[in-house]
Structure 1
Amino acid sequence: MTDNEETYDVIVVGSGGGGLIGGYIAASRGLRTLIIEKTDKVGGTTSYSGAGLWFPGSAPILRAGIAEDDLEVARGYLRAAVGDDSRADLQDAYLSAAGRLIDELERNPRFGTFFHQPVPDYYGSLPGATPHGRTIFPPPVTVAELGETAELVRRSIYTERYGHTEDDELVGGRALIGRALAAFLGTGNGTLLTETELTDLIVESDRVVGIDTRTPQGPVRFRAERGVLLAAGGFEHNAELRVKYGAIPSTGDWSDGVDSNVGDALVAGIAVGAETELLDEAWYVPGVVQPDGKPIFNHATRGGIWVNAAGERFTNETAPYDQAGHAIRDGERDTEVQHAPTHWIFDQKQLSRDGFGAKSPDTPLDPEWFTSGALRKADTLEELAEIIGVPAEALRVSVEKFNGYVATGVDEEFHRGESAWDQMCQFIVGYPALPEQNYIVPIEPEGPNPLLVSIDSPPYYAATLLLSDIGTKGGLKTDVSARVLRADGQPIAGLYATGNTMAAMSGGVYPGAGTPIGSALAFAYLAALDLAEPSL
């Protein structure tokens, strides 16, 4: 409790993509809107991302000449991928909001014109899946265009973690955040407060009427006459909550979500009676362990094989990252064989072709890759097996079996190279590229399937993969207007949620590139519309 109070129409907790878009939509309708951010930078995990938005039927896709991108076809695909009828109403709300939101954003020059890039849907064998995908992206923006606002935008994960320099153009998630922040402040109705941390939701007469916060100047209470939108990310860096809810791995140190995401909004929502769902789920990805001991998101693998502690393959290594991540998680959780770490086995032929550690093949590997143990090297597979602690005979058999698929072009175990996503991966080098990694080295096929290249050119290498994520995806249960629900299905008046604070509309799956941020934006939009004109 504090005597220091301020009043707004709408309060948004969190400044990622969902928070900023929700804030902008509310402020653009004349509502006095406050966005609070816990850290000194704006953008959350969105700033780490490519800012893809899985928005079927939206104008950028139609402008790209993909006239067949029909919403009903996309709806059928989404239903089949998620396979959970209880989430159908959320899916419908998402699909309905996506195109309308982009139309509205593009009417503001600060957002520019979004564009489509072909990223195949992740479940390519399902009806309605498309090889061109349904993912759109925000246009880049320069520091000069943003002015002083640019300084508020969170840096990329490579800059924050490894000290890489940023150039004068913001791309991907940083572009979306920079543009949305400028648009929000440009409404004249938006206020941003950084270093302001949510501590509690204020409830009066069964309605959320504001928030209590912790600031450098002390506690401050903010009242919201219309409502509060929670858009503060997940709980990926809260080890206690991960253990409590079974969101393995139990440490947040392996997550690529921003460090400040520890579940403040989730805990505050639960404290006022919110129902939750999917708390054991995350947007799982394989992470390549770096010399500092932490993994970083690996979104494509076009060479080598992955083996578990038994020295055996267990998945299609080139599968979409969420599916590959779930394969590691399920192996670790459901079998007696260790899958974390997973060992990525490849040879000199692949290293000479692709390089490693986000460096070109012409750039020597930093010695710390080997001195740290993040990368191991041996002249024979038997020696490599001993170094990484897997059965030598099993590893030999796994490699020989894989090599045997090269001539026929058919991976009889895991069907690598057969989907549109897999085929796209032959043009992607390693984990997400740094700005200097602007090369693509063609794969010289040894058979009919370019994703099947033999592992037979010593020395041999083993990189380490851990189960990582780009955020937890379980959270507060909501309705189609993003209103937070109680266990009895009734909304908590004045409380909304989106992004990873909200239980994902896609359930335990990841239908296509841009589903997480697309969901955050779409449900923030729906929340803001309801805040402007509340439903009954």
Structure 2
Amino acid sequence: MSGETVADDRYDVIVVGSGAGLIGAYAAASRGLRTLVVEKTGYLGGTTALSGAGIWLPGNAAEERAGVEDSPEAARPYLDAIVGDDAPAALREAFLQAGPRMIDELERNDRFRWFEWRGVPDYFEGRPGSSATGRTIFPPELRRTELGNLAALIRPPLWTERWGAPLEPVMVGGQALIGRALLAYLETGYGSVRVDTALEGLVVEDGRVVGIEAVSEGERVTLRADRGVILAAGGYERNAELRRRHQPEVGDEWTQGCEGNTGDALLAGMAIGAATDLLDESWFAPGLVVPDTRPVFYTSVWSGIWVNAAGQRYLNERLPYDRAGHEMLRAERASDVSHLPTYWIFDQRQIDNERAFATLPVAPQVPGWFDVEGFVEAGVLKRADTLDELAEQIGVPAGALGKSVEQFNGYARTGTDEQFHRGEAPWDLMTVHQAGPHTDGPNPCLGVIGEPPFYAATIVLSDLGTKGGLRTDEHARVLRPDGSVITGLYASGNTMAPATGRIYPGAGGPVASSMAFSYLAALDIAGGSR
């Protein structure tokens, strides 16, 4: 699939991966560089296509249109405070400065007009520079008909991929971002795409990366890149061996990443001497276990509490998902008590409030997906008339579970969670209006657990992808362990060791980082031209 006629094995730029790396491909092609995107699977978009496509970029034009006062300078103290020494300051500065420039450039193309700001609070409240109103923007929706035959190449949303839900005529979120980027890229006249093309290795001549070895539709091919190769192929979340090596408590069975993300680009870079960092990290997200498929990305509770194997609460259950996931992992490592899995305890009112499941922040767009009887029959949801009976079913001490619920109910009645301060942060309060409060008291994030039957759902440590990868400089150039540049090789997204270190600054951090460093890679390849 091509926007021009070129030899089928030689290009200026090759981009490995078709998620947010498409932004880098567009930036290169729009500067007249013959560009090829290779995608391992039969679909374009990777995990980005499965996402809500939030884009966390301080000081962008969409914020300005919405009347939000923000800038890279305003966000710098925030990133400095929460990232610290876990990633080079030069990387986050490059990210901050690239974001507004990139959005300005994209919006000059009608395919990207106009990104929309929505009020999603930053994930670390109270830190210097943190924004309670948020910095996250989203792409405009896209009618599927605008893509024509290309629509069939976009990876379908999760609820279609996993539940078989019909495709909607209008693409939103990651679907819309990938669709718009693909159209803009091909319309440059310098862009080509090859699907079903798996990276096997990098071609190196005289110390410079000059292309890739790949298997395309079963045939081994060599594809040359005269100016540079951008590795934007996601993380290694679907590689069981790598996860056992670097994240033994997590594994690969619960990830939300798409099936092509087995770390091929990471391994290819390592094979030619690239340095790596933070391979023990992921963009964590607690996952609600459901029958017959991977867990549902579960950002926070509407009601009820989470308990460990001792029947005890151990966190604010409404923490932003990555923070909650890290807390699950921290607790698991710090204690002899199991926290993986965790049990979500709630009562009949959660079941009766249908909106509480239908409007989970990333719930499947499938009516009735939370099938109580089906979930109970499958064993992923436990139900009992008393808390003691429920504790016996999930194997936790009955007295401890009852004590935890009683203590929480006291907090719900007073409106203050004295243990973990649930319901005090902007993120905690943001989504209450969507499902309605579950409360018998003054705090809409706290509600008494008291109406039988009682339920226990299973929460596992899921993720949106691994985030450790190849070390790069501020131009996205891949580095060796001694800090020297591997000429001709670039990395972005989850193939790259993250600019934000071990933290997740706000909704859309992963997509924004992938877009920004793919863009920076293209600028460097093009010599900084506009």
Q: Give the TM-score normalised by structure 2.
A: 0.95
Structure 2: which amino acid aligns with 1:399? V
Aligned-partner Cα distance in 1 for 2:436–2:246: 44
State the partner residue of 1:296: 296
Specify which of 45, 54, 57 is matched with residue 56 of structure 2: 54
SS at match of 2:382: strand
| CA apart distance, 1:331 | 1.8
State the partner residue of 2:19: 16
- Provide, for residues 281-313 of structure 1, a one-character-per-residue CA deviation record: whole Å limited to 9, x for no partner: 000010000112631210121210000111000
Output aligned runs, 1:300-315, within 5 Å: 300-315=300-315
Aligned-partner Cα distance in 2 for 1:139–1:275: 37
SS at match of 2:200: strand
Aligned-partner Cα distance in 1 for 2:149–2:293: 35
State the partner residue of 1:425: 431
SS at match of 1:12: strand
Output aligned runs, 1:172-321, within 5 Å: 172-246=173-247, 248-250=249-251, 252-292=252-292, 294-321=294-321
Choose 447-456 or 20-29, whichever is displaced more.
447-456
| CA apart distance, 1:147 | 1.4
Residue 500 of structure 1 pairs with residue 494 of structure 2: yes
SS at match of 1:405: helix
Asked if structure 2 preserves the Cα contact closer than 8 Å seen for 1:247 and 1:281, the reply is no
Output aligned runs, 1:83-482, within 5 Å: 83-84=84-85, 86-246=87-247, 248-250=249-251, 252-292=252-292, 294-354=294-354, 358=358, 365=371, 367-427=373-433, 440-443=434-437, 445-482=439-476
Q: 1:420 to 1:356 in 2, by over 3 A?
A: closer
State the partner residue of 1:432: none
Asked if structure 1 preserves the Cα contact closer than 8 Å seen for 2:438 and 2:446, the reply is no
Aligned-partner Cα distance in 2 for 1:489–1:355: 52
| CA apart distance, 1:129 | 1.1
| CA apart distance, 1:364 | 8.3
Q: 1:13 to 1:362 in 2, by over 3 A?
A: closer
Asked if structure 2 preserves the Cα contact closer than 8 Å seen for 1:52 and 1:172, the reply is yes
How many matched pairs? 517
Asked if structure 1 preserves the Cα contact closer than 8 Å seen for 2:302 and 2:435, the reply is no
Residue 27 of structure 1 pairs with residue 24 of structure 2: no
Structure 2: which amino acid aligns with 1:333? R
Q: 1:150 to 1:268 in 2, by over 3 A?
A: same
Percent identity, aligned pairs only, is 55
Residue 38 of structure 1 pairs with residue 48 of structure 2: no
Q: Give the TM-score normalised by structure 1.
A: 0.94
Choose 261-270 or 161-170, whichever is displaced more.
161-170
State the partner residue of 1:434: none
Q: 1:64 to 1:33 in 2, by over 3 A?
A: same
Q: Which runs of 5+ in 1 are unaligned?
A: 428-439
SS at match of 1:336: coil
| CA apart distance, 1:230 | 0.1
Aligned-partner Cα distance in 1 for 2:367–2:54: 28
Q: What is the RMSD of the two structures over their aligned residues, measured on CA atoms?
A: 1.8
Choose 415-424 or 363-372, whichever is displaced more.
363-372
| CA apart distance, 1:528 | 0.1
State the partner residue of 2:363: none
Aligned-partner Cα distance in 2 for 1:133–1:302: 21
Q: Which runs of 5+ in 2 are unaligned?
A: 1-6, 360-365
SS at match of 1:527: helix
Aligned-partner Cα distance in 1 for 2:379–2:518: 43
Asked if structure 1 preserves the Cα contact closer than 8 Å seen for 2:439 and 2:446, the reply is yes
Choose 399-408 or 457-466, whichever is displaced more.
399-408
